Each structure stands twice: as structure tokens, then as C-alpha cells.
């Protein structure tokens, strides 16, 4: 009976063949490490955020007189409201943590290179959409940090030449962040995830066309691919289990870890809290904003610090496969960049001051220098590696790749 139903569907819709081609038999490099788990985790978190967000929206009221109290209502009166809210607030932080690791993996292994540029760029769009959604969602509890965060970030658009003030007024729909702002942020916070889901589908269609990269950086022969199911379904779900242990640890034992104490105070447009910081995932970019003592320059630098990732496929001129694995100089730059981002995050969390500002400027210069010097040292590094002979591990990989492979080295 069930088989007859499936046959009936298969004559009209490619159900079985689709599942076979894209899920169960989908060829996956067998050498993927757990660093390749984070895309799956991001997908899980997207679902979790949508589900918990929809249920929060059933009880939340986007009105300046009601918003803060409705969040307290969710915490105290709604059955399991505390759990759903903490899942959503912790989920936002976890989402960024997972996405940052996902990006770091792509940078380390050079997975942004041909033929995966469109994956990298759709991922870049996803990062911006995620940031927009997180920023607008942060206003909704209508606490002090919510309000002043939104006030500062919308003010950034005031740096637009000529029509800055008009743009800020238009964004807010009010002279300050007010009722109109809260209402539209709620509407858009609910809307943006639709775009994220659509972009994730594009990301996945691209992935299934070019297939996963792998730690060796070389297109593997057919014999080195294994079916996604059961090998990677099992691996992904095991990774999810480990992730959930950490995630639930925060949700149940330290749910306020990611919530600024000042945000437990209702928004007050007449009083800025003494020390205002963005959420941790915006800190590095916030530090870059503060490194330049000019509004337009700071906003431009901050925007560029996010958008510059999109240039990676052009900036990296090396054809040595495997990203940082076989490229000592690139590897060093990668770790310098990671440490630099962590320094910027720390700087962003500190009150502005003399020494902090100097470190901030230095870290910002290093941040951009890592990107902008890449075209030169990646070329130099490739010549140097060829001149002294490729590492034996890489040569073995290149030799073992099957002959008819059109592209042995990632471009």
C-alpha cells in the first residue's frame, strides 16, 4: 500500500529520486572533519529560531507601552515562556558562534575558491541578513540596551552624505527610536527569516552542484566519496548532540549569560546607560567603527570590514590547494586574523580610552592589512612552495587524484 502510494507520487513528482540523489546517495568526501558540521548546525539553529520566534510572537506586543511588560509576561505567566525566550536569546548567540566557526573553516581550508565563489557570496548575504535580523530582534524587549543600541545603529545612517538626517528620520519613523520604530522592527524581524530561508535554499542548491569541499582542497576521485546517508547523517547528528549539550547548558544554567543586565531596565529615551555595548557578536565590528574618529569614515570602515570577506576569491591569488593546510604563510595570516578579531572583540567591550583607542587602531589596521596584502603574499607563497618542492603530503594527494580530473588544483 505504502509502496503503491510512493509509486503514484513518483510518476508525478521526483520524490524517491530526489531523496536518493540529494540526501541518501549524495556523494560526500569521506575525509570531512567535524569542522564541516557547522553548516548543519546553522540550519538547525535557523529552524529553532523560527519556531521559538513564532511562539514568542504569539505573546509579544510591539508597542512601547506594552513591549517590556509583555516580555516579563512571557517570562512569568506563559507556560514555558521562560524556556522559549531563553532558547531564542541563547539561540541568537549560538547562531553567530556557529556561523563564525563555519566562516573560519571556509577561510582556513580555502573553500571560498573556485568553483565555490557563489556559495561564499550567498553565505555573505546570509551573514548580513542574520546581522540585520539579530539587530532588529534586539530592540524588541525594549530594555535600555535595546533602545540605545537601536538609537546608535540607526544614527550610523546619519553619516550618509547630503541626506543623512532624512534617512535616519525615515528609518525610525519618529524623531527618536519610538513606537513606529518598534513596530516596523518587529514586522521586519519576522520578515527577514523568510529571505534567510530562501537564501539558504540557494546556498544548498549551489552546494549540491559543486559538492562539499574537503580538507585536502582537491576534487576527490569517485572512490573517495561516500553516500551522505548513513555516514554523514550519523556524523551530523552526533555533532548536533554535542552542540546541544553545550547549548542547553547555557539555556538552563546560565540563560542570562548573553543578556546585558542593563536590558532588564525598561527603555528610557532620556537617559543613556553609563556603559553601552552591543551584543558580543557585533563587538569586533563595533571596535572598527570606534577606531576611526570620523562618523562617515567609521561607518565606512565598519561596513567594509564585513563586506571585504566577499573579495576573498579575488584577493587569494594562490593555486595551492587545501587552504591553510599546505600554505604555512597563509596559515600564519589566518591565525593572526583570528587573534586580531578576538582582540577587537575585547576592545569593543571596553569603555573608550587612550590606550584602548591605540590598540583599537592597530588592530583595525592589521584587520584590513591581512586582506589587502593577500594578493601579494599569496602569489609569492605559491612560487616559494613550488621552488622548494611541494610538501610530500600534498604531492601524494595530487598524484593519487585520478587522472581525468579536469582540475587538480583549486584555482
Partner 1 sequence: MVGKEGVDEERRDFLLTATGTVGAVGIAAACWPFISSMNPTLDVQAQANTEVDLSGVAAGAMRTVAWRGKPVFIVHRNPEQIAAMAQSEGGKDPAPDRTRVQEPQWLVVVGICTHLGCVPNKTEDGWLCPCHGSVYDNSGRVLQGPAPRNLEVPPYHFVEPTKIVIG
Comparing CB distances to partner 1, the nearer of 12 and 76 is 76
Grid cell locating 342? 578576538
- In whole angstroms, give the CA distance from residue 199 to residue 292: 33
| Residue-level length of the chain | 411
- In whole angstroms, give the CA distance from residue 103 to residue 246: 20
Find the distance separating the first CA and the last CA of the chain, reported in whole Å.
51
Q: Find the part of the chain contacting partner 1 (CB under 8 A) among 81-89, 144-152, 181-189, 345-353.
A: 81-89
Comparing CB distances to partner 1, the nearer of 246 and 365 is 246
Q: How far is the CB of 24 from partner 1 (least distance, A)?
A: 15
Residue of 102, 122, 119 whose CA lies nearest to 38:
102
Comparing CB distances to partner 1, the nearer of 84 and 182 is 84
What track of x and - describes contact with partner 1 for positions 120 through 159 (by CB under 8 A)?
A: ----------------------------------------
Cβ contacts of 21 within 8 Å, gap of 6 or more: none
Residues identified as active-site = 208, 212, 235-236, 279
Q: Which residues pair with 143 in a beta bridge?
A: 266
Q: Find the part of the chain contacting partner 1 (CB under 8 A) among 78-86, 100-108, 297-305, 333-341.
A: 78-86
What track of x and - describes contact with partner 1 for positions 246 through 265 (by CB under 8 A)?
A: --------------------
Cβ of 205: how many Cβ atoms within 10 Å?
13
Comparing CB distances to partner 1, the nearer of 69 and 166 is 69
Number of chain residues interacting with partner 1 (CB under 8 A): 16
Outline where 109-227 has alpha helix (H).
117-139, 144-156, 164-172, 179-210
Comparing CB distances to partner 1, the nearer of 3 and 79 is 79
Grid cell locating 182? 518598534
Residue of 358, 332, 364 whose CA lies nearest to 345:
364
Comparing CB distances to partner 1, the nearer of 230 and 352 is 230
> In what helix (H) or strand (E) does residue 29 lie, and over which residues does it extend?
strand 27-29
Is residue 51 a contact residue for partner 1 (CB under 8 A)? yes
Alpha-carbon radius of gyration of the chain: 24
**Cβ–Cβ under 8 Å, residues 105 and 36:** yes
Is residue 80 a contact residue for partner 1 (CB under 8 A)? yes
Q: How far is the CB of 236 from partner 1 (least distance, A)?
A: 13
Among 29, 39, 81, 298, binds partner 1 (CB under 8 A): 81
Is residue 84 a contact residue for partner 1 (CB under 8 A)? yes
* Burial profile 328-367: b = 16 or more Cβ within 10 angstroms, e = fewer: ebbeebbeebeebbebbbbbbebeeeeebeebbbebbebb
Grid cell locating 107? 577561510
User: In 3-state terms, what secondary structure has residue 359?
Assistant: helix
Comparing CB distances to partner 1, the nearer of 127 and 251 is 251
Q: How far is the CB of 240 from partner 1 (least distance, A)?
A: 10
Is residue 110 a contact residue for partner 1 (CB under 8 A)? no
Residue appearing with cell numbers 576534487: 219
Among 15, 20, 23, 30, binds partner 1 (CB under 8 A): 30
Comparing CB distances to partner 1, the nearer of 52 and 106 is 52
Q: How far is the CB of 317 from partner 1 (least distance, A)?
A: 37
Q: How far is the CB of 89 from partner 1 (least distance, A)?
A: 15
Among 59, 184, 211, 331, binds partner 1 (CB under 8 A): 59
Among 36, 44, 55, 157, binds partner 1 (CB under 8 A): 55
Among 125, 159, 202, 226, binds partner 1 (CB under 8 A): 226
Burial class (CB in 10 A: 0-12, 13-18, 19+), 240: middle
User: In 3-state terms, what secondary structure has residue 102?
Assistant: helix
DSSP result, 131-164 = HHHHHHHHHTT-BHHHHHHHHHHHHHGGGSTTTH
Is residue 79 a contact residue for partner 1 (CB under 8 A)? yes
Q: Find the part of the chain contacting partner 1 (CB under 8 A) among 69-77, 168-176, 324-332, 336-344.
A: 69-77
Q: How far is the CB of 112 from partner 1 (least distance, A)?
A: 29
Give the residues lining the site for partner 1 (CB under 8 A): 30, 51-52, 55, 58-59, 73, 76-81, 83-84, 226
Amino acid at each position: 500500500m505504502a509502496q503503491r502510494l510512493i509509486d503514484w507520487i513518483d510518476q508525478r513528482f521526483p520524490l524517491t529520486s530526489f531523496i536518493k540523489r540529494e540526501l541518501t546517495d549524495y556523494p560526500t568526501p569521506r575525509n570531512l572533519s567535524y569542522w564541516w558540521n557547522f553548516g548543519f548546525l546553522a540550519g538547525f539553529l535557523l529552524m529553532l529560531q523560527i519556531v521559538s520566534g513564532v511562539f514568542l510572537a504569539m505573546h509579544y506586543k510591539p508597542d512601547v507601552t506594552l513591549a517590556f511588560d509583555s516580555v516579563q509576561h512571557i517570562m512569568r505567566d506563559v507556560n514555558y515562556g521562560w524556556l522559549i525566550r531563553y532558547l531564542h536569546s541563547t539561540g541568537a548567540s549560538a547562531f553567530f558562534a556557529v556561523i563564525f566557526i563555519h566562516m573560519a573553516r571556509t577561510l582556513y581550508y580555502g573553500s571560498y575558491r573556485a568553483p565555490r565563489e557563489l556559495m561564499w557570496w550567498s553565505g555573505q548575504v546570509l551573514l548580513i541578513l542574520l546581522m540585520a535580523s539579530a539587530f532588529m530582534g534586539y530592540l524588541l524587549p525594549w530594555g535600555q540596551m535595546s533602545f540605545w543600541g537601536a538609537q546608535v545603529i540607526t544614527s550610523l545612517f546619519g553619516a550618509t552624505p547630503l541626506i543623512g538626517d532624512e534617512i535616519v528620520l525615515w528609518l525610525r519613523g519618529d524623531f527618536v527610536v519610538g513606537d513606529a520604530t518598534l513596530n516596523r522592527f518587529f514586522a521586519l524581524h519576522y520578515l527577514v527569516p523568510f529571505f534567510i530561508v530562501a537564501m539558504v535554499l540557494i546556498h544548498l542548491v549551489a552546494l549540491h552542484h559543486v559538492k562539499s569541499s574537503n580538507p585536502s582542497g582537491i576534487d576527490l576521485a569517485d572512490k573517495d566519496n561516500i553516500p551522505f546517508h548513513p555516514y554523514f547523517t550519523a556524523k551530523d547528528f552526533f555533532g548536533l548532540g554535542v552542540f546541544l549539550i553545550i547549548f542547553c547548558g547555557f539555556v538552563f544554567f546560565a540563560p542570562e549569560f548573553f543578556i546585558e543586565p542593563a536590558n532588564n531596565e525598561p527603555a528610557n529615551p532620556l537617559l543613556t546607560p553609563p556603559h553601552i555595548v552591543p551584543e558580543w557578536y557585533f563587538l569586533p565590528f563595533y571596535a572598527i567603527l570606534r577606531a576611526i574618529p570620523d562618523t562617515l569614515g567609521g561607518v565606512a570602515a565598519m561596513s567594509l570590514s564585513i563586506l571585504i570577506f566577499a573579495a576573498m576569491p579575488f584577493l587569494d591569488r594562490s593555486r595551492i590547494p587545501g587552504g591553510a593546510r599546505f600554505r604555512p604563510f597563509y596559515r600564519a595570516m589566518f591565525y593572526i586574523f583570528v587573534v586580531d578579531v578576538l582582540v577587537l572583540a575585547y576592545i569593543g567591550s571596553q569603555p573608550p580610552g587612550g590606550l584602548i583607542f591605540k590598540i583599537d587602531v592597530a588592530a583595525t589596521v592589521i584587520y584590513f592589512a591581512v586582506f589587502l596584502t593577500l594578493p601579494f603574499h599569496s602569489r609569492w607563497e605559491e612560487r616559494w612552495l613550488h621552488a622548494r618542492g611541494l610538501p610530500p603530503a600534498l604531492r601524494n594527494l595530487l598524484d593519487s587524484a585520478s587522472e581525468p580530473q579536469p582540475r587538480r588544483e583549486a584555482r
